[in-house]
Chains A and B, each alone.
Chain A
Amino acid sequence: MTSGTTSMLETAEACAKCRCGCCKDQCPMYSEIIEESISPKGRNLLIRAVCNGILEPDERAVRIAYSCLLCRRDEFDCSAGLKNAEAAEAFREYLVDRGVPLLSQHEPLVKSLENYGNPWQESRAARKRWAREIKGKKAIPGKTEVLFYVGCTFALDRSLQESPKALAHLMELAGEEYGLLLEDELCCGSTAKRIGQRTLFEKLRKENESRIRGISAKTVVTACAGCYKTLKQDYPGLAKDTKLLHSSEYLWRLVSSGKLNFKKTNMRVTYHDPCHLGRHAEVYDDPRRILKAVPGLRLIEMKNSKEKARCCGGGAGVKTAYPEISAKAALRRLEEAKRTGADAVVTTCPFCVQTLRAAAEASSSRMRVLELSVFLDELAVPRSKEARQ
């Protein structure tokens, strides 16, 4: 029995003693499906029954296992302070280890990760296409101090490529030197890990970590919240040896040191905390500090923000397996954003941008959904000569 299985069972046993159900209140999956089993409590009871041989994992059990966004919103409400997302992720690994077949919807992701090193069935060479218009060059081992780790979704989804371009541009405006892995960049493995494919994740992690470490950069900046969580928490030791920063943390350093300045705007914006950046990595303040540094901008918080923020519905393989549920969760979050009266919702994760943008389009909403770097790039002004000196 692995330590992950032990702690998963401890969580399940503790939940089975309590059974209060407080987790259901804000669980985005329960909110849409409204079935007792589709909740952290329902899943914990299942984990306990399956692991103790009471039940065989049938098709419904697999549905319960994969109907979780691993968003950790429920943990804010959990009476017993349980790590339900960790247990849910470990349960997926447990099912895979027991030979339970992969969800058919996840098959293309896994095959693509195995063949191309990214989940989106794009060639390895496609990974550098986004960078054609920017000045950034390939990282040089031993020389590059800041490595910009772009991530599969920002690099390969054409509708999102404006984000890495914007971040690169902001770095250039601030006079920062940085390097890229381009076609040598590999998936961080988050997608594989979240759907229980531990062996595949380990393969990706080893290769990717060796490429990152090979550059010996002092700082690694990730644009994607999912990559950030994965590199920081699922790559043992990497965060100790390298300074890992999410783009929002990195940009705040540039803003607070006066290297980035913005023109005035009268926009009202609200900020959506991505689960992987917020609850998982506890980065709540830097994106807000940056937004507050934009002259004239009014930041309006949603009813549920920071640790209470609702998930956009895009995580942990749910968008691929249950797209209609994911879309409903996104719409619910967008409604919260709309209630603030803001002109735009700004966020810092490619999946959140995708799902919230799709919800805005589906509901014919006027609300703009903007990735933080893209939003800032529209407002950034070149530094004065004196500042550059």
Chain B
Amino acid sequence: MKEPELAEVRRELVALLGESKVLSSKSDLLPYTKDTYRIRFEDDHRYFPDLAVLPETTSEVQGIVKIAARRRMPIIPKGGGSNRTGMLVPIHGGILLDTIKMKRVVEINKPNLYVTVQPGITLKELDEQLADHGLWLTQEQGSLKIATVGGSISTSGFSRFHQKYGVIADRVMSLEVVLADGSVLRTGPKVLYTSTGYRLLQLFIAAEGTLGIITEATLRVEPLPEARDVVLAFYDDFWGANDAAQKLMASGVVFSGAEAYEGHGMERLGAPKGKTSLVYVIFHGTKGEVEADTAFVKRIVEDTHGHLAEHEVALTFLTSYTQQWCGARALTGFEDVITTYVPMERMREFYDRLWNVIAPKYGLEALPGEKLGLDVGRYRMAGGRYWLPKGDRAWERYQEAVHEIAELATSLGGSIQSCHGVGIQHRENIALEYSDVAIETMRSIKKLLDPDNIMNPGKKIPSKK
């Protein structure tokens, strides 16, 4: 955008929001040039937004959208900023609409077990406030300390307690959304179940800000559980742990979430020598429920020849694992993470091909102890971390590898991304997962709600060939 026009936009935004909530210095805009997506390193400072704004109310968001819409200026809505697929990179400049000041808890409705919040509150902040009322959101994702409600809904974020409590997508009851023309859409009543109208709220889950800006969310919450516990068991190898995970699922026992992975340093956790993998299973509920369910799962461990960790060890493991959960999930080097959804029975096939064919072909190298992992339950997230390729055509080989992993996951009947969204990284890859008719339907929906393509343009939906 040319300078005089940008200055005019800035003047209008300052008139609407006040000087302190409109950022235009490059020093202030630096954090908005990129999220945690592994963009080309030399492109780190390439994509500055023209401006960033920090609204606090729905009407301020409306005003910003109207100012942008008049000029067909892109708007990139942002939550905590930890996205991994480039969803927040302002590739076409425009206004970065940062929701982090929209932190208000509008209503805590204890009898009906819901909370209505502005989108910028983090999951952790919300849980701290709910705890004073004996409630919790039940959502624990790797970016718990950073992820906002709006961002988490917009990427359909993960939760470690998915099996019992679902993920945030399952908890959304109603949304308020500012659309691309500045009008305010309420998706429906604040109820969990209704059979009236189209389920408009579903359009905005995992929409990555491409259809509108979530300005308020009503979410189902739960009473804080009376008891919580964990069972930890060690196995000779990952596939032994995987067998136990399958038996766990087939048994019908109720647990909050579970994970199986191959790691290193199992002895430090009290594992006998030679055990390379573990399964941990988390429980929440009434005291009686948790006691019965942990006893049941311990029998599964016995039946699957697992080595049960001492209870104290399991508790310590869970505490430290949870404390490190946020940090340990971060990508601290030139690395990336795989969060594909793979059907349980195709897991071995997936990993064999990933590490024995794709990785050597493109020069991916698994991080120690991050090669084989599985979220157990309704999620079938097959995880793994790898160092990015080095040397000639490193970036291109990385992109080719990501594409081939996407092909593999979809060919096995899974999904390219279980919880990190599409952003820039998978924009073209999602055509592998959806039919032409489905993609065209998505384009039609986008055109209907955002005819001028100002809402986070260049993300989510593949470009037209």
Is B6 part of the binding interface, using a Cβ–Cβ cutoff of 8 Å? no
Contact B326 A80, beta carbon cutoff 8 Å: no
Contact A55 B146, beta carbon cutoff 8 Å: no
Is B205 part of the binding interface, using a Cβ–Cβ cutoff of 8 Å? no
Q: Which chain B residue lies CB-closest to A24? A: B146
Is B167 part of the binding interface, using a Cβ–Cβ cutoff of 8 Å? no
Is A22 part of the binding interface, using a Cβ–Cβ cutoff of 8 Å? yes
**Contact pattern, B 143-155, Cβ under 8 Å of A = 1, otherwise 0:** 1011000000000
Is A240 part of the binding interface, using a Cβ–Cβ cutoff of 8 Å? no
* Assembled-state Cα–Cα distance A17/B326 (Å): 16
Contact B31 A37, beta carbon cutoff 8 Å: yes
Contact B36 A79, beta carbon cutoff 8 Å: no
* Assembled-state Cα–Cα distance A329/B82 (Å): 25
- The interface residues of chain A lying within 8 Å CB-to-CB of B28 are 35-37, 60, 64
Scan residues 56-98 of chain A and give those whose CB is less than 8 A from a CB of chain B. 57-61, 64, 77-80
Contact B100 A20, beta carbon cutoff 8 Å: no
- The interface residues of chain A lying within 8 Å CB-to-CB of B327 are 20, 22, 77-79
Contact B101 A79, beta carbon cutoff 8 Å: no
Contact B146 A21, beta carbon cutoff 8 Å: yes
A79 partner, pick from B98, B100, B124, B326, beta carbons under 8 A: B326
Given contacts A60-B28, A79-B326, contact A20 B45 (CB under 8 A): no
Which residue, of B28, B81, B334, has the highest number of chain A Cβ atoms within 10 A? B28
Q: Which chain A residue lies CB-closest to B24? A: A60
Q: A33 CB to closest chain B CB, in angstroms?
A: 9
- The interface residues of chain A lying within 8 Å CB-to-CB of B329 are 20, 79
Is A280 part of the binding interface, using a Cβ–Cβ cutoff of 8 Å? no
* Assembled-state Cα–Cα distance A41/B145 (Å): 14
Is B199 part of the binding interface, using a Cβ–Cβ cutoff of 8 Å? no
* Assembled-state Cα–Cα distance A100/B34 (Å): 28
Contact A21 B30, beta carbon cutoff 8 Å: no
* Assembled-state Cα–Cα distance A19/B331 (Å): 8
Contact A42 B331, beta carbon cutoff 8 Å: no
Scan residues 1-46 of chain A and give those whose CB is less than 8 A from a CB of chain B. 14, 16-22, 24-25, 34-37, 39, 41-42, 45-46
Give the B interface residue count (CB, 8 A). Answer: 35
Given contacts A55-B26, A58-B25, A60-B25, contact A80 B100 (CB under 8 A): no
Contact A64 B27, beta carbon cutoff 8 Å: yes
Q: Which chain B residue lies CB-closest to A38? A: B28
Contact A77 B333, beta carbon cutoff 8 Å: no
Which residue, of A14, A16, A45, A64, has the highest number of chain B Cβ atoms within 10 A? A45
Is A239 part of the binding interface, using a Cβ–Cβ cutoff of 8 Å? no
Scan residues 13-45 of chain B and give those whose CB is less than 8 A from a CB of chain A. 23, 25-28, 30-32, 34-36, 44-45
Scan residues 211-252 of chain B and give those whose CB is less than 8 A from a CB of chain A. none
* Assembled-state Cα–Cα distance A389/B23 (Å): 70
Scan residues 382-409 of chain B and give those whose CB is less than 8 A from a CB of chain A. none
Given contacts A18-B330, A55-B26, contact A36 B31 (CB under 8 A): yes
- The interface residues of chain A lying within 8 Å CB-to-CB of B44 are 16
Is B122 part of the binding interface, using a Cβ–Cβ cutoff of 8 Å? yes
Q: B337 CB to closest chain A CB, in angstroms?
A: 12
Contact A25 B146, beta carbon cutoff 8 Å: yes
Contact A20 B36, beta carbon cutoff 8 Å: yes
Contact B82 A49, beta carbon cutoff 8 Å: no
Contact B30 A18, beta carbon cutoff 8 Å: no
Give the A interface residue count (CB, 8 A). Answer: 32
Given contacts A21-B82, A58-B25, contact A77 B145 (CB under 8 A): yes
Contact A22 B30, beta carbon cutoff 8 Å: no
Contact A34 B146, beta carbon cutoff 8 Å: no
Is B332 part of the binding interface, using a Cβ–Cβ cutoff of 8 Å? yes
- The interface residues of chain B lying within 8 Å CB-to-CB of A362 are none
Is B54 part of the binding interface, using a Cβ–Cβ cutoff of 8 Å? yes
Which residue, of B23, B27, B34, B327, has the highest number of chain A Cβ atoms within 10 A? B27
Contact B27 A55, beta carbon cutoff 8 Å: yes
Is A387 part of the binding interface, using a Cβ–Cβ cutoff of 8 Å? no
Is B90 part of the binding interface, using a Cβ–Cβ cutoff of 8 Å? no
Is B448 part of the binding interface, using a Cβ–Cβ cutoff of 8 Å? no
- The interface residues of chain B lying within 8 Å CB-to-CB of A34 are 54, 100-101, 103
Contact A17 B32, beta carbon cutoff 8 Å: no
Q: A73 CB to closest chain B CB, in angstroms?
A: 13
Contact B326 A19, beta carbon cutoff 8 Å: no
Q: A182 CB to closest chain B CB, in angstroms?
A: 46
Is B94 part of the binding interface, using a Cβ–Cβ cutoff of 8 Å? no
- The interface residues of chain A lying within 8 Å CB-to-CB of B80 are 21
Q: B145 CB to closest chain A CB, in angstroms?
A: 4
- The interface residues of chain A lying within 8 Å CB-to-CB of B122 are 25
Given contacts A19-B36, A21-B80, A78-B327, contact A42 B146 (CB under 8 A): no
**Contact pattern, B 70-112, Cβ under 8 Å of A = 1, otherwise 0:** 0000000000111000000000000000101101000000000
Q: A18 CB to closest chain B CB, in angstroms?
A: 5
Contact A19 B34, beta carbon cutoff 8 Å: yes
**Contact pattern, B 100-143, Cβ under 8 Å of A = 1, otherwise 0:** 11010000000000000000001010000000000000000001
Is B200 part of the binding interface, using a Cβ–Cβ cutoff of 8 Å? no
Is B328 part of the binding interface, using a Cβ–Cβ cutoff of 8 Å? yes
Q: B100 CB to closest chain A CB, in angstroms?
A: 6
A80 partner, pick from B27, B54, B143, B330, beta carbons under 8 A: B330
Which residue, of B31, B100, B328, has the highest number of chain A Cβ atoms within 10 A? B31
* Assembled-state Cα–Cα distance A22/B98 (Å): 17
- The interface residues of chain A lying within 8 Å CB-to-CB of B30 are 37, 42, 45-46, 49, 55
Please give 14 more A-B residue pairs, beta carbons under 8 A apart, in addition to A19-B36, A20-B330, A59-B25. A16-B44, A17-B333, A17-B334, A18-B36, A20-B327, A20-B332, A25-B145, A34-B101, A45-B30, A45-B31, A54-B45, A60-B27, A61-B25, A80-B330
Q: Can you list 17 A-B contacts (CB < 8 A)? A: A18-B333, A20-B327, A20-B331, A20-B332, A34-B100, A34-B103, A35-B100, A36-B31, A36-B100, A39-B31, A42-B31, A46-B30, A49-B45, A77-B327, A79-B327, A79-B328, A79-B329
What are the nearest 7 A-B pairs in CB distance? A79-B330, A20-B330, A79-B327, A36-B31, A25-B145, A60-B25, A61-B27
